[in-house]
Chain A
Amino acid sequence: NAGVMQNPRHLVRRRGQEARLRCSPMKGHSHVYWYRQLPEEGLKFMVYLQKENIIDESGMPKERFSAEFPKEGPSILRIQQVVRGDSAAYFCASSLSTRTNTDTQYFGPGTRLTVL
């Protein structure tokens, strides 16, 4: 019973390049969340998606960042024209449903992005 999968685990980009981070939710989960974590800080919510829909992107910068969760395949967090300040760990979480409106989120191992 595989958990949340993220790849790559480590990603190095030069300033101005694009970064693509992938997340495969737990089997049966249709809700995906992306968080950013700076060293020695807590997790900052970025975006919440369901299949083919962005539900809440209030935590995601308006420029350069985008996210998708297509009908088939993993969720993608895309950062265009990366800058050094984008260096962080990016975590994906998934949940089963929102029937109760507060379903537990299970996290992946994260992608550590380093911008040179």
Chain B
Amino acid sequence: GESVGLHLPTLSVQEGDNSIINCAYSNSASDYFIWYKQESGKGPQFIIDIRSNMDKRQGQRVTVLLNKTVKHLSLQIAATQPGDSAVYFCAENISGNQFYFGTGTSLTVIP
């Protein structure tokens, strides 16, 4: 089965609210993680990444948190906008260049 999974398959938030998307991983040896955003009919788009020697990383309106103790990753989106509606995947890299992707969380922003 998948080594990477998401707690919630769907998430609906009001425009302007903050969104939190969660991801659990099972391999403690994973040392690099990426969040991707995929809009309908398009390829995954890189959002933000984090290495295992960090527990937090911030980008523009997004923050990724890594809790290695419980093998949990989250993506926080501040002031969610309609354009944020998409499926969000976390990807886990164990070694080499192979990434394992979760099934994704569908985020819907309600205007």
Contact = CB atoms under 8 A, between A and B. Distances in A.
Interface in A91-108: 91, 95, 98, 101-108
Contact of B103 (A41, A91, A104): A41
B15 interface: no
Interface residues of A, number: 29
A98 to B, nearest CB: 6
A16 B91 CA distance: 34
Contacts of B42: 109-110
A6 to B, nearest CB: 8
A107 B45 contact: yes
A34 B10 CA distance: 26
Contacts of A43: 44, 89, 91, 101
Contacts of A91: 43-44
Interface of A: 4, 6, 31, 33, 35, 40-45, 48, 55-56, 58-59, 91, 95, 98, 101-110
